[in-house]
Chains A and B, each alone.
Chain A
Amino acid sequence: MLSAFDEMRAYGGTVRSGYKALDTWLRDIAPDVLEYRRREAELIFRRIGITFAVYGEAQAQERLIPFDVIPRILSGSEWRLLEKGLTQRVRALNAFIRDVYGAREILRAGVVSNDLIFRNPAFRPEMSGLRVPHDIYVHIAGIDVVRTDAETFYVLEDNVRTPSGVSYMLENREIMMRLFPELFSQHRVAPVENYPDELLATLQSVAPSVAARDPIAVLLTPGIYNSAYYEHTFLADKLGVELVEGRDLFVKDEVVYMRTTQGPRRVDVIYRRLDDDFLDPLTFRPDSALGVPGLFTAYQAGNVTLANAVGTGIADDKAVYSFMPEVIRFYTGEEPILKNVPTWRCREPEHLSYVLDRLDELVVKEVHGSGGYGMLIGPAATKIAVEQFRAKLKAAPDNFIAQPMLALSTCPTCVESGVAPRHVDLRPFVLSGRNRECVVPGGLTRVALKEGSVVVNSSQGGGTKDTWVLDG
């Protein structure tokens, strides 16, 4: 394996500045106390019901994401850099999506090819020429960031459809404050608890202009069988908005209403955690029982705001991702602050043959994949798995991209043998409303609990950590 940068001890040397107090604390604390607290945290999580579902696992319908009690620490200056880079990136993403469904200048300028957009399954022709309220498409973005050394952050993925995980960011902090109050008195940790307020303000700021002064926002969930259902209930509760399912809403004369005990009530903003495909059986998948018939016509009429907008999936696409540095330059005129991982698009013959020659060195991903499913990690895969993947790749090269194996940074983590370094990533959440942008300091740190593993997805046995952004 590659030698990794450890966020506490760099490459095995002295403890880095932000981690000094934590290092002392870790050395002083008895191992059984750590273990005891870990169990306590697990018990609290289970009682609160913070669970997620793994599709295809019938008996384990509700599982707990393992929580690691050792926090991950970012210094104030590291965070400021990240924040600037994230804001820049999301601005560019918004401009890109608006352009793709509007003037299409980026296509005319030849920065990205027509094929990449128009032959992309995430492209929604219905959105062409449609103006969304206040021209904002990506109200909530979850940008996955990894780190390879003290100075270098890479964006690994842009999640701009319905990114999840923010409830863990909030709950992890709550639990840490409950379990380790003494740690918080030794560190000045920037708070994250204002996220729901920021989110609500963001949603209300983008209400259609026809809405009343106090616009009504709701959170639309696919229902209790969705893997992120817990998060939906959690957020609705913190936002103080109704958690609705498709059947709670109906459309009349191009206006969306919810069914309440006092009769129909108009809805202005829908924070939807339901994919485009399922939103409206009359416009998208006709077999969807989760959506609201007529919702899209209300959207077209400008009577309701969907957050995020329909069709943002185009920017989730990993082939589009590979153009992000150019996209950022095109719309902002600035150099990208956060790096992009070099990416080979297997749709292009030269790229494909390069990738096929180095399958055992590269990470190959599906362009529309998520959750860590369907990917090949060349250096960690068996010969047979590599060959099987080669066949898959040759059969449909358009569906894949490849990237070099990054040496993801590690953080001290509780494991069976004590405390050991494990690979981590970070998903900060970026909010964009009318005249407002906000990145709550921190985000969701995911950790690959298996030694050497770099797959942090919860569906693949990853865990989470609280993420601290310190003063200074």
Chain B
Amino acid sequence: MLSRTADNLYWLSRYMERAEYLARILDSTQRLSKLPLAYAGTSNEWESALLSAGCATAFSQVHAEANETTVSDFLGFSTDNPSSIRSCLELARTNARAVRTALTMEMWDAINGTWLELKNFGNGVSSREEFSRFLRWVRESSLLYDGSAYRTMLRNDAYWFSRLGVYIERADNTARILDVKYHLLLPENEWVGGALDYFQWSAILRSVSALTAYHWVYRESLKPWLVADLLILREEMPRSLNSCYEAIVRNLDSIAGAYGRQGLAQRQARGIRTRLQNSRMDGIFQRGLHEFLGEFITENNRLGAAIAEQFLI
């Protein structure tokens, strides 16, 4: 297939995934910020939301203060922010238009329909209720896109490249949200923070839709190191780093199989996957969770660059 087509499919999926992630962050932030101070701690949740979205610098150029109004607008609707939900959905559609022939009718319908409905929200929303509805709609749109891709695409390189976009983006998102809250996940926090952090942990889980999953996997009340374990190492958790890399390696292998050759991207991905498989939480905590996550984010970006170099240009 054309390199540009593969590139568009890859980014299209990244943008849809990112839009959903932003919606989840905003949703969990909204919840946290509504708790009485005694439960939620004193940190500015809206600032953490910006950090998790990787938009803090861009934000500071437009707004002075991070609060519900400014952050909701910046991450939700702003056209100044190339990573706002709205920008993501618009970019996704631009990419989709450029590769219409590589999309199934259902995928196009999902993306184009989303883009058309986006207009109903205009330049923003006027109430919290409406904003919640908006966030729910974003999540549904992303699911619709993902489902239609999964259900209707031929299992060929077009599908594999679009899946790669999903998982590279998802791995980045999970690592970022963990890194912003990493201090809450350190084992000693059990004594330091106590009940105070309970809601922070549950907010992390909620933002990657893993709150229920946690209970099914561990059958325990929330423990910070288990939250980290779930999101980093647990393979059965679809947003964990390890699970993302299982999928990345699998899709890259499919491409290598079809094309009859391996390359740097395949080797790098397998390297990261092997390290994750061989890691244990206590080891990660010993070496430093923050360092681990920082390294992971860099490695994940490098893999993205290697994929681009090998296939997309």
Residues of B within 8 A of A259 (CB): 2-4, 313
What chain B residues lie within 8 Å of A234 (beta carbons)?
A: 100
Nearest Cβ on chain A to B79's Cβ, whole angstroms = 15
**Stretch from A79-87, A244-252, A269-277 contacting the other chain:** A244-252
Q: How far is the CB of A43 from chain B (nearest CB, A)?
A: 10
**B1, B98, B112: the one within 8 Å of A47 (CB):** B112
Please report the number of residue pairs spanning A and B whose Cβ atoms sit closer than 8 angstroms: 55
Give chain B nearest CB distance to A250 CB in angstroms: 11
Q: How many residues of B contact A (CB 8 A)?
A: 24
Contact status A49-B108, CB under 8 Å: yes
Cα A330 to Cα B255 with chains together (Å): 58
Chain A residues contacting B5 (CB-CB under 8 Å) are 242
Q: Is the CB of B108 within 8 A of A248?
A: no
Would you call A229 an interface residue if the criterion is a C-beta within 8 Å of the partner chain's C-beta atoms?
yes
Majority-rule SS of B interface residues: helix
If A47-B109, A49-B112, A224-B94 touch, whether A261 touches B100 (CB-CB below 8 Å) is: no
Chain B nearest CB, measured from A301 CB (Å): 24
Q: How far is the CA of A46 from the CA of B119 in the complex (A)?
A: 14
The residue that A261 contacts in the complex, of B101, B105, B108, B311, with Cβ under 8 A, is B311
Give Cα distance in the complex from A234 to B105, angstroms. Answer: 11
When C-beta atoms are compared, the residue in chain A nearest to B312 turns out to be A261
A247 touches B4 (CB 8 A): yes
Find chain B residues with CB under 8 A from A262 CB. Answer: 259
Q: In the complex, what distance in Å separates the CA atom of A148 from the CA atom of B42?
A: 81
- The answer, yes or no, to whether A237 is at the interface (CB within 8 Å) is yes
Whether B1 lies near A261 (C-beta < 8 A) is yes
- Does B97 touch A at the CB level, under 8 Å? yes
Say yes or no: A224 contacts B3, CB within 8 Å: no
CA distance A242 to B1 in the complex (A): 8
Option from B1, B98, B100, B116 in Cβ contact (under 8 Å) with A260? B1
Return the chain B residue nearest A237 by Cβ: B101
Inter-chain contact B98/A224, CB cutoff 8 Å: yes
Contact with B along A228-264 (1 / 0, CB 8 A): 0100011011000011110110000000001111100
Q: B3 to A261, Cβ gap below 8 A?
A: yes
- For residue B113, CB closer than 8 A to chain A, the reply is yes
Which residues of B are found within 8 Å of A260, using beta-carbon distances?
1-3
Q: Which residues of the partner chain B approach A48 to less than 8 Å between Cβ atoms?
A: 105, 108-109
Chain B residues whose C-beta falls within 8 Å of the C-beta of A248 in the assembled complex: 2-4
Residue of A nearest to B97 (CB): A224
0/1 per residue, B122-146, Cβ < 8 Å to A?
0000000000000000000000000
Instruction: Give every chain A residue within 8 A of B259 (Cβ-Cβ).
Output: 261-262
> Are A237 and B3 neighbours in the complex by a CB distance under 8 Å?
no
Determine the chain B residues whose CB is within 8 A of the CB of A258 once the complex forms.
2
Pair B4/A46 contact, Cβ less than 8 Å: no
Check: B157 CB closer than 8 A to any chain A CB: yes
Say whether A233 contacts B100, CB under 8 Å.
yes
Chain A residues lying within 8 Å of B6, measured Cβ to Cβ, are: 261
Contact A237 B100 (CB under 8 A): yes
Q: Are A243 and B101 in contact (CB under 8 A)?
A: yes
Using a CB–CB distance below 8 Å, which chain A residues touch chain B? Answer: 46-49, 223-224, 229, 233-234, 236-237, 242-245, 247-248, 258-262
A-B pairs with the 9 shortest C-beta distances? A233-B100, A237-B101, A261-B311, A259-B3, A236-B101, A261-B6, A224-B97, A49-B112, A243-B101
A-B CB contact pairs (8 Å), 14 listed? A47-B109, A48-B105, A233-B100, A233-B101, A242-B2, A243-B100, A247-B4, A248-B2, A260-B1, A260-B3, A261-B1, A261-B3, A261-B6, A261-B259
